[in-house]
Structure 1
């Protein structure tokens, strides 16, 4: 019992220490007063942003310089007293070209483990002139992001250039971490830009609090941040930092009654491996970030030559993707769905493939994420929905099985203000009875629950069915699934693949099936490839299945032949 209590005390102490450290970092970095940390010899170890603005230099130019290079005073009149544990005050002047800046300084002993190792100097402007105020404000406008108060792109590039020159001379390594918040645009589109700005400020504070010494963070614009780590010894250092940053990004946010979770994608560029100048290393980190993003959310990637190739392929795909719809290069594929108990056909899911004029057939894994990033998923998704409804209406008239057809509705489509009217218009145009249309949405739609409930209820009033796709892979499913007006849960294939490999995946599947049935919902599993997987799902009471065990996705002609057999 005492051991448990001792452990709790240590955990509480560590938590308190972490909070104090974050508070100190916030005070130091965001204080409007100049704050400088010096060692026992008077050399500058750290200086905050306000100090750099007043001095008019970059952090690289300031670090390791002696206080005598900044203030026109005899440092030896004060530093020895501070090292003896006393607090001192004085007046000082900074010469910035022809401008003389008057400050009042407070010298505070800097103690580590009870020993005075240097000083913390706090400086306040003494009745600054209008000219100086304008000068300082101009410096901040040029070098500071006005939303987060972090350094901006201009300042970062200058700082990176200085650090690269120093690294070259001293034969050191450095790392650039390019950070992008996954699906942040959905927050803006759903909850508004002012709300999104507050999220960015909160994220900036979280990221800043996790930075080690000799690192800096800047906002590049939008939801992109970049971190510079100087004088690193190995790849493990930036990797460990990215793990901390990804963890703090995905901590729940509660704002204005909304609770939601974001994730991040981080690309890492290393000097000298990834590039030898500012543009090269930043581009390398950016390319690695895009690869991390294309591989899924909450990921980190190091840059290598393969990433560079994929980076250029990304932009080629994006360019070709913009032309593909006009050129009629997309095709529908269909994968049948079956009753688990009887093996009878119970539905069909429509999938999209891209017949590229030179590269041949391109699967969704190659272009869907790019379509989502660029917004092209909206017109592509509408084309798929319209063509699927045309096809289904035609098949019903031809006497094919009257089973529902599932069509995926992307989050960006769902967020369109006129989405209900668009679906109603397509149903009227094609003449498809609404009960044969099953719209699949992911749990990411719960980013704005009130709007989601309104849209789903209006869709159900049209007579269509709603399925929750990729269930269990997000963060909000268990919290909101009971409130959503849906008909079916779809178990993601990542869980199905784990059947037979251990109890973890199987336990999640059992839980999803039990949850679905307790809410009076049907449950379908995708990605079923083996007899063992089918037997397990059947034993657990899963209602429907689809996957290669029965049939791969088929072309329209192949599927028609499949139905005739």
Structure 2
């Protein structure tokens, strides 16, 4: 055989040595040889020689296979013997490659879907920081289309304040680090969004070719967190810096948190209080009251109350407490407690209450205590008791001739002597001025007459004053009996007073029992009353005005309207004579209505004249104040005269406060109308100062009895300073009455009194005279 020619055996050996499945075919595509690697693709052992290659293998598939479908292959044909047209046919199994490509395609689709549909910003940057891709959510978040972002670097959208730390993070990623940080970007619409960025390097052939990152929009979350932080800071600030005690307790009353003020009050560290109950610290007198309010709070009711706490040092504190339920997800989990230390206020109120019930000069119970005392006798059903009215016969002469200091000493020594003379079952009161009242319960007429005679006899002996001076101060005494002479306190006092007047008329230095004949001595009284009945209809009343001036600026701030009566029969009648009479017979209501109408008309007149307007205060008696038509008449008058109600001020005395509930209701309606309210003659009447914090009042008027000796009497000074301080603490203004000297005004100004009225500025004058005075005063300012 020639070396250039191949035998079949040689061809078979040749094909056997090939490393891939191979066939040798003739020029007619008939298989003449193949290697063993082909056999593993057959469905069974079979001799393929002599078969057409196309029945076994086409261009891209191996057909005779045990698989359900042909195997994908890649076929290549080489000519090895051109003279005989032998061809070498080889194929490569593409199954694994196609499987890999299929998996890669599937992965690519998954990643693309993740990129396209991810709810957060996904972006890629090249090493220069330019955007090379961004997902739809990123376009929506930033407001830019992809094509717009491709022209931008990340630094173009990061706000200037954040660039200084953003760029180092970018370079860290280019150095194959993973970074996680927060920055702020500016959208195309110029909104600022806060993003939390996680960025990783894109590495190809061990080289960083870019950056891929995810940005989560935390703008709203940050805003909420900021609000929560600010809210927490505000809460902590209120909690830690509050001047009041703030604490929280659980539903069993155990402390869960306390502020510094609370620690100071309890004189105990927080860690010793936390987890313990507050109830052991409550005074036994207030325990049930405190427990009741706490039980209300744990059922969801906010509540306020007063209680007393005793700390470990046995110190006692009066507290005003506010309890607020702590609600979490609709469930009460504890109680917030705010407690204000009102111990000083309580001490002051107790002192002022003591002043209210006690005469400051003699330390005897005062006239309010007397009324309460006698009212109690009547309420308890006493069968008989006596009221003894004791009046010093020469006191006014002594007071005017020798001054108030001596006069006060006389009153003090009188009180001492009376207390030493009266039996144990008697009670002594300083009623007013130089008037004392004693009550005897139980008693008989003869017993009281005996004590009265003993008192009259004792005061025929001079009083030894502290100045080593003796004064003879005889007394006149009037006596009335319950129920013979009167069934109520006022009547008993009035009848005893009438008996005193008879004793004085009969020569003084004696006692008189009230009896029917005393009425004969009241002819003048009834004569005045008969003329008083028609005084309103006859237009005999007029109003005089006394200005009220600011002690700071000396500017007029208000006026008081004072009634005057000039009878065509009796001439000028003092208000001190006809006002009590009108109170007794009920005419005070008609007179009071006339005063209100006239004052409102005067305001309207001054308004029409274009004059400056100031509040005009009018005195309202107890009887008028409680009258059913009082409020309606006031509203009608204001509407009829078309005045601004803030230019009208209603003055009431402390005595109206005896019925706190009703008074409070009336005062609230007055405030609804729009008028101002003042308490007149403060400190001389019903001074149980509990009403001050309840009543919606604007002014306290300091009675002239306190002002008169303010420059010389330390007790008057203390009272006035206390009233001013009390008013200031309660947010009220003070008006001092009866100011007559510059020294009095200076004292009042130095201690914070707001307004003053009195003869130093002007006596009460008619409206036209006031206009003249007002012009002259303003011109002089």
| Alignment of 1:464 onto 2:664 | no
1:386–1:237 CA distance, 2 compared to 1 (3 A): same
Distance 1:418 1:358, change over 3 A: closer
CA distance in 1, matches of 2:654, 2:623: 13
Q: Is residue 658 of structure 2 the alignment partner of residue 447 of structure 1?
A: yes
- Residue in 2 that maps onto 1:4: none
Q: State the match for 2:601 in structure 1.
A: 390
1:507 paired residue among 713, 718, 727: 718
Q: CA–CA distance in 2 between the matches of 1:267 and 1:303?
A: 7
- The structure 1 residue matched to 2:533, chosen from 322, 325, 330, is 322
SS in 2 for 1:541: coil
Decide which structure has greater helix share.
1
Find 1:354's aligned residue among 565, 586, 603: 565
Contact 1:393 1:431 in 2 (8 A): yes
The reply on whether 1:556 has 2:767 as its aligned counterpart is yes
Q: Is the 8 A contact 1:405 1:437 kept in 2?
A: yes
Q: 1:305 to 1:390 in 2, by over 3 A?
A: same
Distance 2:682 2:444 in 1: 34
Q: Do 2:655 and 2:685's aligned partners in 1 also have CA atoms closer than 8 Å?
A: yes
Correspondences of 1:23-38 after superposition (within 5 Å): none
- Asked which structure has the greater RCO (Cα within 8 Å, sep 6+), the reply is 1
Unaligned runs of 5+ residues in structure 1 are 1-181, 188-195, 216-224, 242-264, 270-278
Query: Who is 1:229 aligned against?
Result: 446
- Aligned ranges for residues 87-236 of structure 1 at < 5 Å? 200-202=378-380, 204=382, 207=385, 228-229=445-446, 235-236=452-453
Specify every segment of 5 or more residues in structure 2 that has no aligned partner in the other structure, as ranges: 1-366, 389-421, 427-441, 459-475, 508-517, 777-781
The question of 1:424 aligning with 2:635 is answered yes
CA distance in 1: counterparts of 2:615 and 2:661, whole angstroms: 27
Using a 3 Å threshold, how does the CA distance of structure 1 residues 339 and 239 change in structure 2: closer, same or farther? same
Q: Is the 8 A contact 1:268 1:302 kept in 2?
A: no
- Change in 2 beyond 3 A, CA 1:528/1:208: closer
3-state SS of paired residue (1:480): helix
SS of corresponding position for 1:454: helix
Q: Is the counterpart of residue 535 in structure 1 residue 746 in structure 2?
A: yes
Task: Please say which structure displays the higher CA radius of gyration.
Answer: 2
How far apart, in 2, do the equivalents of 1:498 and 1:552 lie?
19
- The structure-2 alpha-carbon separation of the partners of 1:314 and 1:325, relative to structure 1 and needing over 3 Å to count, comes to same
**Is the CA contact 1:334–1:351 (under 8 Å) kept in the aligned structure 2?**
yes
RMSD of the alignment, in Å?
4.0
Q: Which residue of 2 aligns with 1:303?
A: 503
Per the TM alignment, residue 369 of structure 1 is displaced from its structure 2 partner at its CA by 0.9
Deviation at residue 329 of structure 1 after TM alignment: 1.0
Q: 1:359 to 1:209 in 2, by over 3 A?
A: closer
Aligned to 1:414: 625
Going from structure 1 to structure 2, the CA distance change for 1:287 and 1:477 (only over 3 Å counts) comes to closer
Change (3 A) 1:230 1:480: closer
Structure 1 residue 516: deviation in Å? 0.3
Instruction: Indicate the residue corresponding to 1:544 in structure 2.
Output: 755
Instruction: Check 1:206–1:288 CA distance in 2 against 1; reply closer, same or farther (3 A cut).
Output: closer
1:496 aligns with 2:707: yes
Q: In 2, Cα distance between the equivalents of 1:456 and 1:470?
A: 18
List per-residue Cα deviations over 1:11-38 (Å, max 9, x = no partner): xxxxxxxxxxxxxxxxxxxxxxxxxxxx
1:476 to 684, 687, 697: 687
- Distance (whole Å) between structure 1 residues aligned to residue 448 and residue 730 of structure 2: 56
Q: Secondary structure at the match of 2:547?
A: strand
| Inter-CA distance 533–310: structure 2 relative to 1 (3 Å threshold) | farther
User: CA distance change for structure 1 residues 266 and 405 in 2, over 3 Å: closer, same or farther?
Assistant: farther
Give the conservation status (yes or no) of the 8 Å contact 2:545–2:764: yes
Aligned partners of 1:441 and 1:209: how far apart in 2? Answer: 28
Counterpart-to-counterpart distance in 2, 1:484 and 1:436 = 20
- C-alpha distance after superposition, 1:43-85 (max 9, x if no partner): xxxxxxxxxxxxxxxxxxxxxxxxxxxxxxxxxxxxxxxxxxx
- Separation of aligned partners in 1, 2:376 and 2:722: 36
Per mean C-alpha deviation after superposition, the further-off stretch among 496-505 and 545-554 is: 496-505
How far residue 293 of structure 1 moved from its aligned partner, in angstroms, is 4.8
Scaled by the length of structure 1, what TM-score is found?
A: 0.51
- Structure 1 pair 342/371, CA: closer, same or farther in 2 (3 Å)? same
State the shift of 1:480 in Å.
Answer: 1.4
User: Post-superposition shift, 1:289?
Assistant: 6.0
**1:474-521, CA deviations, whole angstroms, 9 ceiling, x for partnerless residues?**
133422111110111110111001212320011000000000000011
Shift of 1:556: 2.1
Q: Sort the Cα spacing of 1:233 and 1:468 in 2 relative to 1 into closer, same or farther, 3 A.
A: closer
TM-score (norm 2): 0.38
**Greater CA drift, 500-509 or 476-485:** 476-485
- Cα distance change of structure 1 residues 227 and 206 upon mapping to structure 2, 3 Å threshold: closer
2:611 pairs with one of 389, 400, 403: 400
